[in-house]
Amino acid sequence: MSGAPVTGRPSRLNVGYGSWDLIWSFVHRVLVVNAGLAVANLPLLAALQLVHQPWRYPVFFGVLSLGIGPSLAAVFGYMRRSDGDERAPVAELVRAYRRLAGRALLLWAPCVLLAAVAATDVFVLRHSALGLAVVPLLVVAVLVAGGSGVVAMAFLAYDDAPRPWRRTLLAAPYALIRRWPLGLMNLGLLAVALVLVNQAPLLGLAVLPGCVLFVVWRNSCAMIESTDPTAGAAAEAVATEARTAV
């Protein structure tokens, strides 16, 4: 019967070079994405810090929120390019913003307008006799508008050849509705991230956006591939070419 304690040096965590490289490349991408989002949306972040009740100024903050769409498209473009280069430089994010900003704003604006109008109607009609029948439909409209905007930004980054903006505007809600569980997951993750960033701005902005948007990007890719198989094949060919070049 042996009750003596085992002595000796404690075992150390042995992590291979490949594992560390994978970890640090992910951290690098997260930091680049977080910094890019913060810089691109500085006016909105500053206004949110200065105004105690932003919902009282819907028009002002609606205009500022238009900048979120181009920054999302740039982030998704950066994430796609980083599939072939795990440590893609910050300049790649800047190039993605310049390439996609115009089309992203054109697609993001209708989604913001629809969400703002539906949300305002929900607020106005919530206590009326008509509200019981109309408010659930308006809430669905808000969710579809927000989810479609996110998917539309992913569409821009996913396709190398620019497609007509009307086609993308129709394809985004179709992909969202067809793969609605992934769409709800995206909206839930983004909502949780916004709440946590609002509670702890510095820590939240330093950690959360990049991690959440990485999952949102993967979900959006699955949604796009399920509705447009040719886009998936084209994207895979581009990614393979990028890996070969590296």
Instruction: Check residue 108 and give its pLDDT.
Output: 95
Q: What is the pLDDT of residues 194-219, one digit of tens each?
A: 888 877 777 778 788 889 999 999 99
Alpha carbon distances (Å) from 133 to 110, 122, 136, 137, 144: 25, 11, 7, 8, 18
The rounded percent of the chain whose pLDDT value lies above 90 is: 42
pLDDT of 240 over the 50 cut: no
pLDDT of 229 over the 90 cut: no
CB 123 within 8 A of CB 83: no
Q: Higher pLDDT residue, 159 or 32?
A: 32
Q: What is the pLDDT of residues 171-200, one digit of tens each?
A: 899 999 999 999 999 999 999 998 888 777
Q: What is the pLDDT of residues 71-115, one digit of tens each?
A: 999 999 999 887 755 667 888 899 999 999 999 999 999 999 999
Rounded CA-CA distance 126/123 in Å is 6
